[in-house]
């Protein structure tokens, strides 16, 4: 088995579901071919068993334990061994086909959603996006799981057709005409099943969306007393999903029953007709055994075809949803690689007047933290609201829109104030760039660099809290860590990306003053010579950066060093700056007092 996920899942066509499935088939063509060959080997060997058995009955039983009987038994054993090996290897290849198609689709959706940001949820409900990964991608995999069985069944069906017609035209025609007739009856049930499955998929997507919206807004709902209203809506939608599922189950159960009943009736008819031919001497007893075996065998290709049509039906429904997600345009156009600016390029936001000289560490300060946070997001072209910001923000004189979103993501990293941690090993949580500098695949950063980043972020206590250190497990959303620890892990992760431009939004808001001072000193030293923007009002951080920009009403009003802006002769803008910084300092003192009080209580408890 080759490792997953793929380094490059590829670029699929977004025209039709059939085109997408054909693209996936071509991407794993070798694996599909191998699975199909084993499927053919399994089906042909299974079809050969009644033929060999019929020859043994006709020619090997007259003389007792004769040489011909022993040879017939050896041939049966050989065919059985081929059947076993083909089934074992084929099932392994079928499962690999399933997993690779499903993971490729999940990876495509995940990467696209990460590039689109808020744009995808602005156009599609959250539940639809979640369902594409949780459900629809698995439906795509099911198609390639059943493909090899279909191919093997078709080849064996053709082979058996020639053998039947060669032995008895009458009985051969009866078998070869009867099975397609049975398949036609079953096909009549597939179309209403498809409609009901589509209805069930829509209802399930709405339910997932409603659940996600309710959970994300649960605190607000409780505050305004609307929790019961939304719970009632969820119950109502849940009942709709259940009713749609029951309707699907009714049709599915009818299809399953017909798959057993119709081939069974057909098999009984073949045995009755063959027995009459054997009594009249038109066929031998061995041929009767062979015809019975063929009739029983041919029900399997029929089941394989029905299963393939069923899985293809569900996959086409799912791929329609997947394409809707993949067709959402990314935030900012992907432009061809231009002559890019060098690492010395200045970062300028022309809307606000924020200009960050290359290689300098600059802080953004505002009485309204949302103002500076919005500028930070605009510098990295994050969020649907900043889709057009790439034209108004330049790096080295080149608009970010002209660089292309992929290059912007490599060169400009924005670490927002709310850290997002995921379940997994701490080492993998920190090392998120691959060898090409692309975020999204596990990288190859050595342990020394990881430890150095944790040292800068003053996160040594995180290592101490995990018995396995860097190989320790982080719980979902970092619940096993405190708020300050989560923030420092996120800071270390941002530092390890080593971007040309690093934008940090309130990176030390959840730590005490002593820790903040250490982080500020180490951060400035580590990022020396590389462009860094820090959104903060903390005097401990502001005193260590190269330059401070005071923002009011979304525009830069003053710039200078921290001490220069604090000076008495700094004028009205200096007074505004002192007001912001003094309030931040007071908040830090209160935070430190509370931290010390909590620490004293913890020590007393111990």
Exposure of 504 in the CB half-sphere (CA atoms within 13 A):
31
Return the structure tokens found at 203.
Answer: 């209802």
Flag whether pLDDT at 2 surpasses 80. Answer: no
Structure confidence at residue 601 as a pLDDT band (50, 70, 90): very low
393-395 and 424-425 beta bridge pairing: unpaired
**Residue 463 or residue 144, greater confidence:** 144
Closest CA to 138 of 311, 271, 373, 351: 311
Report the C-alpha dihedral over residues 592, 595, 597, 599, rounded to 10 degrees.
-140
The pair of structure tokens assigned to 332 is: 């900012």
Average the pLDDT over 49-73 and give the result.
70
In whole angstroms, what is the distance from residue 96 CA to residue 351 CA?
52
Pick the range with the lowest mean pLDDT from 58-62, 295-299, 505-509. 58-62
Confidence of residue 599 (pLDDT cuts 50, 70, 90): very low
Q: Measuring CA to CA, which residue among 481, 453, 476, 441 is closest to residue 465? A: 481
pLDDT at 405: 76
> Rounded CA gap, 240 and 204, in Å?
9
User: What span, in angstroms and rounded, lies between the C-alpha atoms of 346 and 394?
Assistant: 8
If DSSP codes are grouped into helix, strand and coil, which group holds residue 399? strand
Which residue would you say has higher pLDDT here, 546 or 219? 546
Say if residues 548 and 578 touch (Cβ distance below 8 Å): no
d(CA 527, CA 520): 11
pLDDT of residue 387: 65
pLDDT one-digit tens code per residue, 354-398? 999 999 999 999 999 899 999 999 998 876 666 677 788 999 888
More confident residue, 430 or 476: 430
Report whether 32 contacts 96 (CB < 8 A). no
Residue 516, preceding peptide bond in cis (omega within 30° of 0)? no
pLDDT of residue 271: 75
What Å distances lie between residue 80 and 49, 76, 582, CA to CA?
8, 6, 85
Task: Report whether pLDDT(535) > 90.
Answer: yes
pLDDT band at residue 532 using 50, 70 and 90 as cut-offs:
very high
Q: Give me the sign of the Cα torsion angle 181, 182, 187, 192.
A: positive
Q: Which of 15-19, 435-439, 461-465, 494-498 has the lowest mean pLDDT?
A: 435-439
pLDDT, mean over the chain: 79
Is the sign of the CA dihedral 66, 72, 78, 83 positive or negative?
negative
Q: In the prediction, which pLDDT does 431 show? A: 78
Query: What DSSP element (H or E) covers 171?
Result: helix 169-216
More confidently predicted of 187 and 25: 25
Q: Tell me what pLDDT residue 331 has.
A: 54
Give SS3 for 533. Answer: strand
Q: Is 69 helix (H, G, I), strand (E, B) or coil?
A: helix
| E strand map for 460-553 | 473-474, 501-505, 531-535, 547-552
Where residue 62 falls among pLDDT bands split at 50, 70, 90? low
d(CA 552, CA 256): 69
Among candidates 496, 494, 468, 466, which has minimal Cα distance to 478?
A: 466
Q: Do 129 and 105 form a contact (C-beta atoms < 8 A)?
A: no
Say what percent of the chain tops pLDDT 90.
Answer: 22
pLDDT of residue 118: 65
Q: Please list, in sequence order, all residues whose beta carbon lies within 8 angstroms of the beta carbon of residue 479, skipping any fewer than 6 positions away.
A: none
In this predicted structure, the answer to whether residue 3 has a pLDDT above a threshold of 70 is no
Q: Which of 170-174, 187-191, 235-239, 549-553 holds the top average pLDDT?
A: 549-553
């Amino acid at each position: 088995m080759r490792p997953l996920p793929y380094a490059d899942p590829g670029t699929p066509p977004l025209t039709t579901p059939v085109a997408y499935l054909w693209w996936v088939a071509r991407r794993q063509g070798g694996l599909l071919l191998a699975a199909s060959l084993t499927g053919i080997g399994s089906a042909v060997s299974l079809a050969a068993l009644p033929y060999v058995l019929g020859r043994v009955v006709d020619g090997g039983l007259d003389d007792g334990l004769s040489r011909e009987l022993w040879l017939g038994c050896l041939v049966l054993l050989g065919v059985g061994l081929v059947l076993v090996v083909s089934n074992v290897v084929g099932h392994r290849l079928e499962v690999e086909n399933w997993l690779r198609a499903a993971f490729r689709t999940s990876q495509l959706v995940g990467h696209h959603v990460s590039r689109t940001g808020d744009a995808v949820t602005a156009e599609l409900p959250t539940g639809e996006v979640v369902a594409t990964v949780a459900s629809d991608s698995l439906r795509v995999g099911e198609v390639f799981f059943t493909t090899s069985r279909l191919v093997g069944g078709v080849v064996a069906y053709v082979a058996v057709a020639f053998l039947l017609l060669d032995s008895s035209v009458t009985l051969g025609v009866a078998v070869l005409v009867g099975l397609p007739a049975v398949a036609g009856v079953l096909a009549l049930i597939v179309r209403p099943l498809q409609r009901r499955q589509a209805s069930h998929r829509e209802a399930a997507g709405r339910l997932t969306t409603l659940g996600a919206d309710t959970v994300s807004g649960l605190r607000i709902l409780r505050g305004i007393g609307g929790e019961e209203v939304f719970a009632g809506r969820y119950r109502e939608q849940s009942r709709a999903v259940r009713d749609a599922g029951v309707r699907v189950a009714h049709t599915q159960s009818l299809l399953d029953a017909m798959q057993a009943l119709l081939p069974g009736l057909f098999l009984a008819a073949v045995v009755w007709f063959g027995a009459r031919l054997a009594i009249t001497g038109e066929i031998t007893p061995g041929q009767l055994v062979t015809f019975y075996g063929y009739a029983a065998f041919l029900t399997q290709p029929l089941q394989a075809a029905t299963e393939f049509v069923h899985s293809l039906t569900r996959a086409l429904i799912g791929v329609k949803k997947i394409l809707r997600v993949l067709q959402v345009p990314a935030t900012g156009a992907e432009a061809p690689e231009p002559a890019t600016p060098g690492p010395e390029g200045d970062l300028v936001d022309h809307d606000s007047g924020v200009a960050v000289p290359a290689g300098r560490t600059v802080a953004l300060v505002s009485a309204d933290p949302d103002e500076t946070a919005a500028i930070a997001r605009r510098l990295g072209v994050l969020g649907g609201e900043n889709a057009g910001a790439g034209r108004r923000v330049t790096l080295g004189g080149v608009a970010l829109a002209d660089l292309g979103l992929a290059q912007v993501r490599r060169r400009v990293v924005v670490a927002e104030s709310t850290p997002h941690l995921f379940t997994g090993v701490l080492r993998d949580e920190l090392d998120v760039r691959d060898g090409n500098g692309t975020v999204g695949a596990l990288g190859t950063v050595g342990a020394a660099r990881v430890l150095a980043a944790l040292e800068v972020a003053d996160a040594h206590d995180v290592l101490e809290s995990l018995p396995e250190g860097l190989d320790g497990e982080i719980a979902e959303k970092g619940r096993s860590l405190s708020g300050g620890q989560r923030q420092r892990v996120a800071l270390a992760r941002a530092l390890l990306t080593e971007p040309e431009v690093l934008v940090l939004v309130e990176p030390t808001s959840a730590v005490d003053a002593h820790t903040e001072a250490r982080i500020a000193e180490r951060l400035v030293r580590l990022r020396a010579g590389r462009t860094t923007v820090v959104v903060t009002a903390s005097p401990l951080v502001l005193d260590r950066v190269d330059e401070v920009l005071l923002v009011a009403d979304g525009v830069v009003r003053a710039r200078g060093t921290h001490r220069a802006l604090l000076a008495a002769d700094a004028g009205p803008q200096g007074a505004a700056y002192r007001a912001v910084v003094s309030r931040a300092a007071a908040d830090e003192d209160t935070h430190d007092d509370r931290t010390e009080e909590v620490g004293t209580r913890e020590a007393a408890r111990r």
